[in-house]
């Protein structure tokens, strides 16, 4: 069984900047946190799927990366509000969710936001919320 990683945003940010000289890595952190894999594994997988270095990540890249790690995105049936602040407050304490805002994506896993916005009152408007579901059909 593969090692499951616990994630702290500050540690992931340090790895991204120190070892990968990376910027605009919110999707890599979101995938790493959602799939419980190391930043480097998420980074290399997304790079192979077409994520450009130091630029934003197209939606299809992080969706394919999650499928490679054995997860899929499903519509969220829990109302999370309209901003990251409200999502942080209303999010269930169990489960993993990806939240897309304008030019940003974040992960909330078991009620904890793995993102710079966790310690702020970010008013970024939510575009969509998806539940991250373990899928038995892992892509190669």
The position carrying tokens 């999707």 is: 27
Distance CA(30)–CA(43), nearest Å, equals 11
Instruction: Work out the pLDDT band at 78, boundaries 50, 70, 90.
Output: confident
The three-class DSSP label of residue 35 is helix
Domain residue extents for the chain: 9-134
39's CB contacts (< 8 A; 6+ apart) are 12, 15, 16, 20, 28, 29, 32
What pLDDT digit, counting tens, does each position of 84-111 carry?
Answer: 989 988 989 999 999 999 999 999 999 9
Tokens representing residue 101 in the block: 């805002």
- pLDDT value of position 66: 97
The pTM of this model reads 0.90
Task: With CA atoms as reference, report the closest residue to 2 among 36, 45, 33.
Answer: 36
DSSP secondary structure letters along 87-134: HHHHS-SSSEEEEEETTEEEEEETTEEESGGGGS---PBEEEEEEEEE
**Architecture per CATH, 9-134:** Alpha-Beta Complex (3.90)
């Amino acid at each position: 069984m593969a090692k499951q990683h616990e994630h702290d945003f500050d540690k992931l940010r340090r790895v991204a900047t120190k070892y990968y000289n990376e910027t605009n890595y919110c999707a890599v952190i979101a995938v790493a946190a959602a799939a419980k894999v190391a930043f480097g594994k998420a980074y290399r997988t997304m790079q192979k799927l077409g994520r450009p270095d130091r630029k934003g990540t197209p939606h299809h890249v992080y969706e394919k990366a999650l499928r490679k790690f054995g997860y899929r995105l499903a519509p969220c049936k829990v109302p999370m509000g309209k901003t990251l602040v409200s999502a942080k407050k209303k999010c269930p304490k169990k489960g993993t969710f990806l939240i897309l805002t304008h030019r940003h994506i974040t992960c909330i896993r078991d009620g904890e936001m793995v993102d710079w916005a966790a310690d702020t009152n970010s008013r970024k408007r939510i575009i969509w919320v998806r539940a991250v579901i373990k899928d038995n059909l892992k892509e190669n």
